[in-house]
Structure 1
Amino acid sequence: MKRVSVDIGGTFTDCFVVWGDQYIETKALTTHHNLAMGFNEALGKACSELDVDLEQVLTEVDSVRYATTLGTNALIEHKGPKIGMLVTAGYEATVPLSRARGYGEGLDNLGQQDLPNAQRPDPLVEAHMIRGVRERLDFQGKEVMALDEPDLRRQLRELVDRGAQIIVVALVNAVVNPVHEQRIEEILLEEYPSHLLGAIPVILSHQVAGRKGEYVRSTSAIVDGYLHSTMYHALSQLEQNLRAHTYEKPMLVIHNSGGMAQLNSTDALQTIHSGPVSGIGASEHLSLQAELGNVVATDMGGTSYDIGIVVEGGIKHYDFNPVIDRWLVSVPMVHLVTLGAGGGSVASYDRMYKTVKCGPESAGSDPGPACYDRGGMKATVTDADLLLGYLDAENYAGGSIPLNPRRARAVIEDTICDELDCDVIEAAKLIREKVDDSMANGLFTELRARGYDPKDFTMLAYGGNGPLHCCGIAQNLSIDKILAPPLSSVFSAVGAGNMHQLHIHEQSLYMVLYDSNTRELFSDYDRFNGIVAELKERGRQDLRRQGVPDDQILFDLELDMRYGNQLVQTTAVIPFHELHSPADVLQVITQFSNDYGKRFGEGSQAPEAGIRINTIRVSSYVRHETVKFEDIKPVDKAARQTPPSPSSTRSCHFVGQDGAIDTPVWARKDLVPGVEIEGPAIVASEVTTYLVNPGWTFVTAKQGASWFLRNETPAIRH
């Protein structure tokens, strides 16, 4: 296998190259003005290690895959085109009103409890750019009022005259029957043909989101339209860069659904959070292959801290109505929580609480932390880590970014020390303690909210800063086992390399499997089978368009079901995909009952209220060869080896410990599997730093994996 996969983050561009049996991990600073420059630098470093030129690598690899946070950043920075929107007449206020409670989407718990004072998000589409079209379909998709085409043409011209750069169409019940949305697209192309300079893109809501819910479907289409041009031009720029270096195959883009597709089969909305989702995908593979049981995936990079859960068996959690920035959308997305805590998180004085706060603002890659010596004027977590002795100023990032401790000291003194009247080391400890506590609180909240005990999980610590901060986070949660997985500094890029081509299609409907009033079972098998067949065909066409043969395409069927009019839906995975008899219907009901009982407790099922299907969802995918993780479990105590002599000793300061501690330093490449090191200690590699806190033991495993295990009796060397 020969493959290139890249995770373009807010601070670093991570590159993972598989070249036969060689795995190469490299990093470069993200070049936001031209993403291709950072990609070329990172891939160039990998080529140097392989002693192969870049053109040869791109000629011989089977694929190049991108995961990126570009869409997320564009949405946060509010950089997008002027949107014109067409809705069913009478529904012009749906998006501006935001269901009222929508003002709280994306806020923390405190903000959601005080909605009258919540700050409304800046609209992505202005109210005067929304136009009502005279048309109407009922809930079954039957035409109640025909589309008034002369009125439509007049509304389109008004939007264009007002400066609309993209048209979003979201009509009532379009997911049941899209005929009116499709006709609007035809008329738009008649009025403004694609061959005209400045032709206007059109986004149809039923193609972006397949479930009912006018508001969330509308916001999904708006966000997709808002990011359309940004993602199109940026990703096209990356693809053109590949073409310039002799790569002729289609570029693959990671989706937040946990799959990937070619650029021509990717919506902008699907790229949101694709980088962190790749890390969760890699965690799933690792959990299954190494039989780790429950794992919580934590990715600490330069800008953010991403949390995902994979329970035993490699099962991921999905959000079917995730909140992106401040907008509720209707797309299936692997569930994750993102905190504004990373190595580049800005530390400042909190005047209200008279202490230190960290994030969510980040110094990014340009100018970066003050110690990068590139003009950064704000104190960051990386500056604190450097002053506490954890980082090697001469060999940070393999020596490509020399650090300046004097700059770090100066900004922390100016920002923190003067306000708190403390020395610079104490201020750095406060920064370190604050950021670790924030990440631990976020992790604890996420696990507890889903009914899990942190003690039952192994914590995966990856990303450039994950192994540096993991002990401080875990000891606040009573987690005893931490695994820094193989290739931990580019683990999300590894996940991008392991993704399968996948498309998810779904349709909202009202389908009663058991009617509690008549006590009858569902019998319209042709209707059910027809919908499933149509969704399969849409997925098949997606994959055919990307050159996948029919015999390689696989399908999974999921049903969102509920008892009666309950608000809570439960997703049941159905192993068979057609209904032909009452026995088949009863089997679906039994599967739903079992899943419901596992989630809410056995005996909580309520079939007497009736059973209905709200959404039918089909995943169409093709499997690809993946990176194999060897046996990476910690070596038995009796078989562990003593480490070689440390390469150096460094004076380090730890939270909760008075004074400096002479801390031995080892190079990760010098440690064979089975070596045990008691903390405090530092293990350094070219791409990350493993910090072993007092009270923890570091154990090396195969394939570059490393374990942090909590000791019962801490051993501290002064």
Structure 2
Amino acid sequence: MSETEILGVNNMRSKYRLGIDAGGTFTDFVLADLDGGVRLYKSPSTPEDGTRAIRAGLEQISQDINKSIEDIIAQCDLCINGTTVALNALIEKKGVKMGLLCTSGHEDSIEIRLGHKEEGYRYDASYPPAEMLVPRHLRRPIEGRILSDGSEKIALDEQAIREAGQYFKEQNVESVAISFLWSVRDPSHEQRAKSILEEMLPGVFICTGSEVYPQVREYTRTSTTVINAYLSPVMAKYVEKIDDFFSGLGAKYPVRYFQSNGGLAIGSAMRGRAVNAINSGPASAPQAGLFSAAPFGVDNIITVDMGGTSFDITLTYEGQTNLNKNIDFLRYRIGVPMIQVETLGAGGGSIASVNEFGMLQVGPESAGATPGPVCYGKGGTKPTVTDANLVLGYLNPDAVLGGTISLDRKAAEDAIREHVADPLGITVEKAAYGISMIVNLNMVNGIRRVSIERGYDPRDFALVCAGGAAGMHIAALAEEIGIKEVLVPKVASGLCAFGQTISDVKYNYLATNPMRLDTGADINSLNESFLNIEKQGRENLLSDGFKEADITVARSMEMRYVGQIHECTVNISSDKIDDKGLDKILADFHDRHKSLYSYAEPMNPVELVNLESTMTAHVAKPAQPKIVPGNGDCSAALIGPRDMLFDDSGGWMNAPVYQGPLLKAGDCIQGPALIEEPTMTLVVRPGWRAQLEESNCYRLIQNE
């Protein structure tokens, strides 16, 4: 049986699909089957060797379904790995020693950073500069110059390249980035430099700007290429180890890796493009959110993922998730498309304190997994959001995560009293509610940044809950921002791993073709640019085992008014562009500009800067899960009442608590109430109701 038959959009012939999301604390595993069954498992992450955590998770699966690990892998049509390897290497500065070849005079562009300084530190002279991934002595200037029209002004100095290669060899560099001016118009200088270095430095990873980021913006292209060179050898070793691990277990098909653009890629594509995996973890959440929302006919969703340390937000409009390009990530400019993820230091472990101005603040400092919240009894002394949720009655003091952790409510109260309540002169209960309210407002502000500030009204969206801690806050967030409908999949605490199992293979192909889009625009050149990059993408996907019918194309163009510095992205049709099509593109640009910046200038000329085609090979999806319908009687799932606090009045409510695994499709819980799942707690606030749908998803709706 060919891989095409396995992966094609019309087929899923193997029994299972495995999604693995390797996070900083836990590695999540989701095993989906043909019938829509979904099983969730968690294993402690092992950053020093990812295969150890994977084996531990596979052993859990093996024991649960009574099959050997080898049988499970043999029956998987896709084994998908989302990893933080590249991200962690960038955070911890554990990439490889590398060199940079650049156009003479531009050795310091990555340090000058276009004069950019992070928001909040613009006028702070003491704020330290970003740490350079390439030390100054390993940035080597090369004479040679391509102009913006693609012509050669100065011939390439090959002797300087050889001298740089010899120096890199003496310095034991493990990778080299090459980025020359206007290589996107003519890459021949970069290609020749790469050829020379490959001869001189066997075994050293080498990449060029015209390969990694073939678009206008010299600083962005150089920075992106440097990051890719810094991380790719690390990623290559990881991919090789994971591929060998699954091959040793008898996997029939290559492991897929999750990219920051929201799609899958084979290992060979990831080895030399580590920059595409930097944000791979949260990038799969929107796919899972869309899958969960599909039975309700909803394709406008905001997915929020609240874990122990962070809160990740993504927005999807009409089935399309926002993508970011040219962003500063961990103080480094990255140009390649990434799912727009707004990340806040707001998780269950976020620490609450009273600052020097006598005001309550929550985060971004986190207690993490070690020592963790005070109530975990692992040595934590500072109160966290989890401690506040325990004091408010939202958490069961006897069991969390299936009974593996017992919580100490008194310790949580004492910590909140010492660090928050007494300094503010308020009760412990008010302090706990204040902690919850502050973290909620922080999260709401993040939601506004990905919605309102990008021209979307959040009230037009459903809120999708992800992460083990989000269920206790999700209804409050919806109330604050005006969203009337919330979806909470039962697999919420492992939503990213689930999202991997229903994601498609996706590659972004970039090009640049600067031109005025008024009278005299070279439409033939524009069409040719798109066809060239799409031909490359189509060939790669066909060789990857897909059929032509499985492949779709989405195009976009980055445009601006003549004289502007920055562009805005407009999605366009994948049809051949003609005069009528160009008029439609210009009208869409004016509309998009107005939605982003509140004004448009239809009389001003527009110019194209960059263009992009996203090539997607659609993978067969597992069936939607279906659970047994109930008769409306939820009494069998009722555990008993618990006192809970939902506002700062001190008015405790005796609210019922239900065991989620005992609820059936159609069962409806009126708030105030609490639903406890093995890896998630869902708070149903007063004025809300939660109904468990046939698709194994809770639907929270605010009462009229």
8 Å contact 1:307–1:337 — kept in the other structure?
Answer: yes
Tell me how far apart the structure 1 counterparts of residues 421 and 169 of structure 2 sit (CA, whole Å): 55
8 Å contact 1:562–1:568 — kept in the other structure?
Answer: yes
Counterparts of residues 252-401 of structure 1 (less than 5 Å): 252-266=256-270, 267-292=273-298, 294-311=300-317, 313-345=318-350, 347-401=351-405
Q: Which amino acid aligns with 2:325?
A: F
Structure 1 residue 691 displacement after superposition: 1.2
Tell me how far apart the structure 2 counterparts of residues 608 and 172 of structure 1 sit (CA, whole Å): 33
- Of 152, 156, 177, the match for 1:143: 152
Q: Which amino acid aligns with 1:560?
A: E
- Of 668, 689, 697, the match for 1:705: 697
8 Å contact 1:294–1:310 — kept in the other structure?
Answer: yes
For the pair 1:556 / 2:566, whether they are aligned, the reply is: no
Q: Which amino acid aligns with 1:16?
A: V
- Of 614, 619, 637, the match for 2:614: 619
Counterparts of residues 83-232 of structure 1 (less than 5 Å): 83-100=98-115, 102-104=116-118, 107=119, 110-112=120-122, 114=123, 118-194=127-203, 200-232=204-236
3-state SS, counterpart of residue 554 of structure 1: strand
Task: String of CA shifts for 1:687-708, please: whole Å, max 9, x gaps.
Answer: 2111122333222222221122
* Total equivalences in the alignment: 684
Structure 1 residue 288 displacement after superposition: 4.7
Q: 1:600 to 1:568 in 2, by over 3 A?
A: farther
Structure 1 residue 536 displacement after superposition: 1.6
8 Å contact 1:26–1:42 — kept in the other structure?
Answer: yes
Residue of structure 2 in register with 1:239 after alignment: 243
8 Å contact 2:537–2:615 — kept in the other structure?
Answer: yes
Residue of structure 1 in register with 2:479 after alignment: 475
3-state SS, counterpart of residue 684 of structure 1: strand
Tell me how far apart the structure 1 counterparts of residues 487 and 581 of structure 2 sit (CA, whole Å): 40
Q: 1:91 to 1:377 in 2, by over 3 A?
A: same
For the pair 1:60 / 2:55, whether they are aligned, the reply is: no
3-state SS, counterpart of residue 397 of structure 1: coil
Q: Which amino acid aligns with 2:151?
A: K
8 Å contact 1:506–1:618 — kept in the other structure?
Answer: yes
Tell me how far apart the structure 2 counterparts of residues 494 and 73 of structure 1 sit (CA, whole Å): 22
3-state SS, counterpart of residue 240 of structure 1: helix
3-state SS, counterpart of residue 82 of structure 2: strand
Q: Which amino acid aligns with 2:681?
A: T
- Of 670, 679, 689, the match for 1:687: 679
Residue of structure 1 in register with 2:535 after alignment: 537
Q: 1:563 to 1:528 in 2, by over 3 A?
A: same
Residue of structure 2 in register with 1:651 after alignment: 643
8 Å contact 1:463–1:488 — kept in the other structure?
Answer: yes
Question: Which shifted more, 669-678 or 541-550?
Answer: 541-550
3-state SS, counterpart of residue 31 of structure 1: coil
Tell me how far apart the structure 2 counterparts of residues 408 and 386 of structure 1 sit (CA, whole Å): 8
Tell me how far apart the structure 2 counterparts of residues 379 and 31 of structure 1 sit (CA, whole Å): 27
3-state SS, counterpart of residue 556 of structure 1: strand
Structure 1 residue 576 displacement after superposition: 4.5
Q: Which amino acid aligns with 1:307?
A: I
Structure 1 residue 567 displacement after superposition: 4.1
3-state SS, counterpart of residue 658 of structure 1: coil
RMSD over aligned Cα, in angstroms?
A: 2.9
Counterparts of residues 466-505 of structure 1 (less than 5 Å): 466-505=470-509
Q: 1:292 to 1:567 in 2, by over 3 A?
A: same
Tell me how far apart the structure 2 counterparts of residues 474 and 361 of structure 1 sit (CA, whole Å): 25
Task: String of CA shifts for 1:562-610, please: whole Å, max 9, x gaps.
Answer: 443344534444434445xxxx133222233145336527997656543
Task: String of CA shifts for 1:242-287, please: whole Å, max 9, x gaps.
Answer: 2343324211111111211011102111112222111012223444
Tell me how far apart the structure 2 counterparts of residues 203 and 553 of structure 1 sit (CA, whole Å): 28
- Of 591, 596, 604, the match for 2:590: 596
Q: 1:230 to 1:393 in 2, by over 3 A?
A: farther
Tell me how far apart the structure 1 counterparts of residues 476 and 582 of structure 2 sit (CA, whole Å): 46
- Of 73, 77, 102, the match for 2:92: 77
Question: Which shifted more, 232-241 or 667-676?
Answer: 232-241
3-state SS, counterpart of residue 57 of structure 1: helix
- Of 409, 425, 436, the match for 2:440: 436
Q: 1:398 to 1:631 in 2, by over 3 A?
A: closer
Question: Which shifted more, 660-669 or 288-297?
Answer: 288-297
Structure 1 residue 82 displacement after superposition: 2.7
8 Å contact 1:14–1:490 — kept in the other structure?
Answer: yes
3-state SS, counterpart of residue 80 of structure 1: coil
Task: String of CA shifts for 1:419-453, please: whole Å, max 9, x gaps.
Answer: 45666555433332222221122223432212333
Q: Which amino acid aligns with 1:683?
A: I
Tell me how far apart the structure 2 counterparts of residues 56 and 333 of structure 1 sit (CA, whole Å): 35
Q: Which amino acid aligns with 2:502?
A: N
Tell me how far apart the structure 2 counterparts of residues 249 and 662 of structure 1 sit (CA, whole Å): 54
Q: Which amino acid aligns with 1:7?
A: D
Residue of structure 1 in register with 2:3 after alignment: none
Q: 1:12 to 1:163 in 2, by over 3 A?
A: same
3-state SS, counterpart of residue 303 of structure 2: strand
Question: Which shifted more, 442-451 or 285-294?
Answer: 285-294
Tell me how far apart the structure 1 counterparts of residues 692 and 196 of structure 2 sit (CA, whole Å): 64
Structure 1 residue 144 displacement after superposition: 1.9
Tell me how far apart the structure 2 counterparts of residues 421 and 38 of structure 1 sit (CA, whole Å): 46
Tell me how far apart the structure 2 counterparts of residues 229 and 366 of structure 1 sit (CA, whole Å): 30
3-state SS, counterpart of residue 508 of structure 2: strand
- Of 512, 515, 518, the match for 2:516: 512
8 Å contact 2:346–2:443 — kept in the other structure?
Answer: yes
Tell me how far apart the structure 1 counterparts of residues 92 and 360 of structure 2 sit (CA, whole Å): 25
3-state SS, counterpart of residue 326 of structure 2: coil
Tell me how far apart the structure 2 counterparts of residues 578 and 528 of structure 1 sit (CA, whole Å): 9
3-state SS, counterpart of residue 114 of structure 2: coil
3-state SS, counterpart of residue 698 of structure 1: strand
Q: 1:623 to 1:454 in 2, by over 3 A?
A: closer
8 Å contact 1:570–1:596 — kept in the other structure?
Answer: no
Q: 1:590 to 1:103 in 2, by over 3 A?
A: same
- Of 62, 68, 84, the match for 1:47: 62
Q: Which amino acid aligns with 1:146?
A: A
For the pair 1:671 / 2:663, whether they are aligned, the reply is: yes
For the pair 1:587 / 2:569, whether they are aligned, the reply is: no
3-state SS, counterpart of residue 703 of structure 1: coil
For the pair 1:5 / 2:19, whether they are aligned, the reply is: yes
Q: Which amino acid aligns with 1:434?
A: I
Structure 1 residue 415 displacement after superposition: 4.4
3-state SS, counterpart of residue 396 of structure 1: coil
3-state SS, counterpart of residue 702 of structure 1: coil
Residue of structure 2 in register with 1:197 after alignment: none
For the pair 1:522 / 2:522, whether they are aligned, the reply is: yes
8 Å contact 2:590–2:602 — kept in the other structure?
Answer: no
- Gap runs ≥5 in structure 1: 195-199, 713-718
Q: 1:203 to 1:601 in 2, by over 3 A?
A: closer
Tell me how far apart the structure 1 counterparts of residues 404 and 237 of structure 2 sit (CA, whole Å): 30
Tell me how far apart the structure 1 counterparts of residues 143 and 117 of structure 2 sit (CA, whole Å): 29
3-state SS, counterpart of residue 306 of structure 1: strand
Structure 1 residue 64 displacement after superposition: 0.7
Structure 1 residue 300 displacement after superposition: 1.0
Q: Which amino acid aligns with 1:189?
A: E
Q: 1:201 to 1:543 in 2, by over 3 A?
A: same
8 Å contact 1:295–1:310 — kept in the other structure?
Answer: yes
- Gap runs ≥5 in structure 2: 1-11
